[in-house]
Amino acid sequence: MPPRKKKNTEPQQESGPEPEPCRPRTRAKNATQRPGIEAEKRLRTRRDPAVVQEEKDARKRRKEEKERARQEEAVDNEAAARFVEENRAQQKAAMAEEEVSMPRRRSQGMRYFYFSAFSHHLTCVP
């Protein structure tokens, strides 16, 4: 295969000083694409330091309020967990007490069932 021919053999025309060799160059179209940006930069004014400080303080207060709410929620969750554990312990104690006062009877199995069809196979104790 023969080597490819270069499509653009003419050297680029450059305007202005030579840029750094390792730095990419901006195409002319991109450099003039948004000319209003430079005008906006000149019209921008610095914000008042008092307003900036006010906004910082407001952000700090909101952050502290969030942290305080998070801590309160953690305390509430711990209290709820303690309540649940105490309630379960009380229920266990109540069930044990009920078991002691009223023991369950064990099933007697087939003792109380009378089947007329199978009565000759079963020995039932009255």
Q: What residue ranges do the domains of the chain occupy?
A: 57-101
Global confidence as pTM: 0.40
Q: What single letter denotes the amino acid at residue 91?
A: Q
Query: Using CA atoms, how far apart are residues 28 and 38, in angstroms rounded to an integer?
Result: 16
Residue 124 has pLDDT above 70, yes or no: no
42-100 tens-digit pLDDT: 788 788 899 999 999 999 999 999 999 999 999 999 999 999 999 999 999 999 888 88
Among the listed residues 8, 18, 14, 41, the one whose alpha carbon sits nearest the alpha carbon of residue 27: 14
Given a contact cutoff of 8 angstroms between Cβ atoms, the answer to whether 110 and 122 are in contact is yes
Q: What single letter denotes the amino acid at residue 21?
A: P
- In which residue are the tokens 């969030």 written? 66
